[in-house]
Chains A and B, each alone.
Chain A
Amino acid sequence: MSGIAGKPAEHTEQGLKGIRDTGLEEVRLRAFLAHAWRTPKGFYGWLVTVDHKLIGRRYIVTAFLFLILAGLSALAMRFQLAQPEAGHIGPDLYNQLFTMHGTTMMFLFAVPVMEAFAIYLVPLMIGTRNVAFPRLNAFSYWVYLSGGLMIWIAFAFETGADAGWFSYVPLAGPEYGIGKRPDFWAQMVTYTEVSALAVAVEIIATVFKQRAPGMSLDRIPLYVWSVLVTAFVILFAMPAVMVSSTMLILDRLVGTKFFDPAAGGDALLWQHLFWFFGHPEVYIIFIPATGFVSAILPTFVRRPIFGYLGIVLSLISIGFLSFGLWVHHMFATGLPQLGESFFTASSMMIAIPSGIQIFCWIATIWGGRPIFATPMLFVLGFIFTFVIGGLTGVMVASVPLDLQVHDTYFVVAHFHYVLVGGAVFPLLGAVYYWFPKITGRMLSERLGRWNFWLVFLGFNLTFFPMHILGLQGMPRRVYTYPPASGWGEMNLLISLSSLVVFAGFALFFLNLLLSLRNGRIAGDNPWGASTLEWATTSPPPSYDFSRLPVVTHREPLWAEPDTLPVVEGLRVDAREVLAGTVADAVPQLRVPSADNSIWPLLSAIAVGGAFLGSIYTPWAVVWGAIPVSIGFICWFWPKGEPEDEE
């Protein structure tokens, strides 16, 4: 960087520390920023980077790899269930398969992939250069990766979790949980929750403090609102599963009696704590997906969203209400009827804000001129599928009906409609929508249409018949069924249809790989969208924006398509971002942003080692605390950053 080695006096105003961007010509500005925000080349750079885009990207890729693993375990189950009394997979492996499928989909795919997109997109959409705590972000990824690898390696060694994704006691308790299987599950939860909580904290701080000047609360893009609400839901929901999984591992490892009724404990306590997390978990996955829809829709109907305020209030109320529903997972446990009625009412109530959102989207389409590109197809597929899932949700919210279909394939159908229809469809739409921004290339529209129709039709053919099977009484989590049940033909149809879904996903990944190399060059704003991430290059530079934008309108790029209002006066020789007031985003501070560091990775290894060791001995927590402390101290100890001069 010879061009920036000496401090050019003309750019250092009297009394101001460091080199500022004021009046700096674009080429030199970019050279300075590229130097200040660089990630070292090579493998070492890969380990130390704190760039939210690199971390977001690797989060996304990792989450999709886990999706493949979970998808393959589903295929294996469908292979077994295609015929009655098939002998391909025995009950023990089958138990592990459905547990690994659910656990991976929920903890290692759905939540992380939603957070991954937030990590990538939020700083770009609110006009800053990185998340609030970049090293915490890097740390969260390594912890997540180690948790996911751990549980899958355990599975490879026949120690796969096998008590269902919610790991109910006493099945998972010391008495019935075989070997170390439930312990690996419990510690995987600890890893992924530490990671999810870390991301939630940084998203809250980033959205509250680092929005572009002028981006007041009523100008925040709806997608950002959705991830902000999600971050709060994570903040208050995830501690429940950390508390409960810690209690489970303590019961198993050191003989505590939390869930042992013979010693004053209670098995239902597990269910309460788990579902206090588990129900909001559904919304942790679903709320950002609605954010995708609210981001994609206006672009493809060429008009601002209808009912911005209504949607924001709906998101917030869904966030609140999601905490009042957990008992509807426990209707079959014999709880007092009055309590059940309350939870029926609150379960039905959440349909109101969800409905408001859907009507706002329909009104937006109604008032616009829809362009049926692939992201839009997935949004339409989402609305159709999610409405069905929502309606069966209202059905199972009612206690008598729930008791009939509890633990049957009806419930399997319901939650796949909600989760795949409600979250995976918008997610795939989001991949098509933001792939050009992330990679600089467009995905193939032709493959995209094939991808959509195969997944959409295959999904409905796979999961709709499960409603009927459930009503006919076929239970969940059985590795086989007798021929006399009459469920054989329907199961064969489901298994064949799941191959169509598989083919759809295969096309999706093929499209990604082909387009990465040969896709059409995207340009900055290929869709003519309105939000700030489209104001920078595709892919964005390491510093996101050469000058930080100022927001004067809710749809900034539609209000001023050719010019971007920006601020001046930030340092370019050190990493610096703006922090402003929470409500109105009035600039208050030029805050230094953390540089690359190896310590988040080393700390994650220390933390991971302590967690892993604690599966076998409680002393691992004591001895593990030493490397963990060293890691954290080295992480936080200042290392003479230039901004410390100020």
Chain B
Amino acid sequence: MRHRPVADVSHLPTYDFGSASPMWWGTLAFIALEATGFALAIGTYFYLAVLARHWPIGAPAPDLLPGTAALIILVASVVPNHLIEFWARRQDLAKVRLGMVVMSIVGILPLIVRIWEFPALRISWDQNAYGSIVWFLLGLHTTHLLTDVGDTIVLAVLMFTQKGKAGRRFSDVSDNAFYWDFVVVSWVVLYLVIYWAPRM
């Protein structure tokens, strides 16, 4: 077929932020499917709770302290996370580097708290279905925390190399911040389910 040039795209940029970037849509799609997984696991929790004569089965409600500590850290992390988003969009390398270091540390903190959180459930996963589902919910979120903190640390290291100076890395930082918001929001919901639903 003959070609008839009708448009010139030579001056278009090669990266952008938010919904202009295909990667943002990919991140959103992954968030959607993971949120579906969370929703189904939460659905399972309430399904089992409705079936049970007493809930929680054979155990006291979980100890509030470690989970609440994780909640406070995660909710507080939203502030540096959004600052990083802002700096990434302004392509301020020095501040983004600082922010990534902060976010790596802020990401590791709730993982440390998690060490106390599992025992704070006050039931083992193999004791009964209640134990199984709370361990499952906490495990699911911990996996998310681990993978996103891993991702954040790798990206932080990358930002300190020569390759961190490429413009599209700022877009990567912005998408990473977007995903962290999901990790935080999902914990708010899971925290209410794991710690407060048994107290209702």
Contacts and interface: CB of A to CB of B under 8 A. Distances in A.
Contacts of B150: 629
A204 B131 CA distance: 37
A256 B125 contact: yes
Interface string A266-310: 100100110010000000000000000000000000000000000
A589 B168 CA distance: 12
B29 A201 contact: yes
Contact of A264 (B10, B30, B129): B129
Given A201-B33, A266-B129, A582 B26 contact: no
A209 interface: yes
A550 interface: yes
A495 to B, nearest CB: 41
A204 B25 contact: yes
A579 interface: yes
Contacts of A255: 125-126
A213 B34 CA distance: 32
B20 A588 contact: yes
B115 interface: no
B4 A563 contact: yes
Pick the most buried of A213, A546, A569: most chain B CB atoms within 10 A of its CB: A569
A579 B22 contact: yes
Contact of A563 (B2, B25, B127): B2
Interface string A631-646: 0010011101001111
B51 interface: yes
Contact of B32 (A132, A235, A579): A235
A562 B48 contact: no
Interface in A504-548: 524, 535, 546-547
Contacts of B32: 235-236
Nearest to A202: B26
Interface in B128-156: 128-133, 135-136, 150, 154
Contact of A637 (B2, B47, B158): B158
A273 B33 contact: no
B16 A589 contact: yes
Interface stretch (B37-45, B79-87, B179-187): B37-45
Contacts of B128: 257, 263-265
B47 A644 contact: no
Contacts of B13: 589-590, 646
Q: Interface residue tally of chain B, by bracket?
A: 35 or more
Contacts of B47: 266, 269, 272
B129 A132 contact: no
A250 B167 CA distance: 44
B174 to A, nearest CB: 14
B15 A644 contact: no
A13 B9 CA distance: 13
B132 to A, nearest CB: 4
Contacts of B52: 264
Contacts of A489: none
B136 A592 contact: no
Contact of A258 (B11, B36, B129): B129
Given A564-B2, A567-B7, A579-B20, A588 B12 contact: yes
Nearest to A569: B10
A189 interface: no
Contacts of A273: 40, 44
B22 A269 contact: no
Contacts of A201: 26, 29-30, 33
A266 B40 contact: no
Interface string A566-609: 11111000001011001000011111100000000000000000
Given A254-B126, A590-B14, A646-B14, A276 B40 contact: yes
B129 A260 contact: yes
B154 A636 contact: yes
B52 to A, nearest CB: 5
Nearest to B126: A255
B166 interface: yes
B8 A589 contact: no
A22 B132 CA distance: 62
Given A535-B1, A562-B2, A243 B9 contact: no
A582 B36 contact: no
B120 to A, nearest CB: 19
A79 interface: no
B19 A582 contact: yes
B37 A205 contact: no
Given A256-B135, A266-B51, A273-B40, A550 B33 contact: no
A524 B1 contact: yes
Pick the most buried of B25, B34, B166: most chain A CB atoms within 10 A of its CB: B25
A550 B168 CA distance: 26
Given A257-B131, A589-B15, A591-B14, A567 B5 contact: yes
A590 B21 CA distance: 10
A644 B1 contact: no
A265 B48 contact: yes
A265 B131 CA distance: 10
Interface string B70-90: 000000000000000000000
Interface string B157-186: 010000100111000000000000000000
Interface of A: 13, 16, 20, 22, 26, 132-133, 197, 200-202, 204-206, 208-210, 213, 235-236, 238-240, 242-243, 247, 250-251, 254-258, 260, 263-266, 269, 272-273, 276, 524, 535, 546-547, 550, 562-570, 576, 578-579, 582, 587-592, 629, 633, 636-638, 640, 643-646
Given A16-B10, A201-B30, 14 more contacts: A235-B29, A235-B33, A247-B136, A257-B129, A257-B131, A258-B132, A524-B1, A567-B5, A567-B8, A568-B7, A589-B21, A590-B13, A629-B150, A643-B14
Interface of B: 1-16, 19-23, 25-26, 29-30, 32-34, 36-37, 40-41, 44, 47-48, 51-52, 57, 125-133, 135-136, 150, 154, 158, 163, 166-168
7 contacts: A200-B29, A257-B131, A257-B132, A550-B7, A565-B5, A582-B19, A590-B14
